Amino acid sequence: MVIDKILRDKNIRFKEKAEKIKVILTDVDGVLTDTGIYYGPQGEALKRYSVRDGMGIERLRRYTGIETIIITGENSAAVKSRAEKLKMAEYYLGVKDKTEVLEIIKKKNGFVKEEIAYIGDDSNDYDVIQKCGFTASPADGMSFIKEIVDYVCETKAGYGAFREFAELIMAFKNVT
């Protein structure tokens, strides 16, 4: 069948891309969170994170050596706290131009485009997505982002989309 061939060809492309990945870069709002912001009694921003996404970050590190790096325009204590809890060696908060930070990460770590995965959902991710080797969007990402990424998750942001992308990469690297 034509559909089987298309799916098989797509899986071959995914496998070729996933095998090269050494780092995953991620946005926060709209990927690791459900895009909602809650405010505490003192006006502090609170965010809801999926424990499954956190486990995906830990599994990537433990079983493949792949680190996750946050790049977000958000500059909040909640994001910093989450990055530290997940023992992220690098995270970038308050970013205005994600492509500039991508270049810093590449230079600092010696990565090339094909070794970098990125998951994002909105206009501030558009340019950086086009400069990474394997890309994804949560199921509820903006349509113009879903049109340009390699993989659209079945899962929504903040409910395990990052974990789904992480598991996909691990599966293509033969890690379960």
- pLDDT at residue 1, rounded to an integer: 46
Residue 43's pLDDT is 85
Candidates 121, 170, 171; CA nearest to 149 is 121
The three-state DSSP-derived secondary structure of 98-133 is HHHHHHHHHHHHCCCHHHEEEECCCHHHHHHHCCCC
Reading the block at residue 10, the tokens are 């797509």
pLDDT at residue 3 in the model: 39
Quote the strand ranges of the chain, DSSP E. 23-26, 38-39, 45-46, 67-71, 91-92, 116-119, 134-137, 151-152
Q: Which tokens is 70 given?
A: 């946050």
Q: What rounded mean pLDDT belongs to the chain?
A: 92
| Residue 43 or 152, more confident | 152
Architecture of domain 2-172: 3-Layer(aba) Sandwich (3.40)
Whole-model pTM: value is: 0.92
- Distance CA(90)–CA(63), nearest Å, equals 19
Q: Any idea which of 1-10, 68-77, 155-164 has the lowest mean pLDDT?
A: 1-10
* Domain segments of the chain as ranges: 2-172
Residue pLDDT, tens place only, 90-138: 999 999 999 999 999 999 999 999 999 999 999 999 999 999 999 999 9
Mean pLDDT score, 140-168: 96
pLDDT grade, residue 15 (50/70/90)? confident
Per-residue pLDDT, 56:
97
Average pLDDT of 75-101? Answer: 95
Q: In Å, how far from its chain's centre is CA 102?
A: 13
What pLDDT shows up at residue 14? 86
* Residue 9 confidence (pLDDT): 66
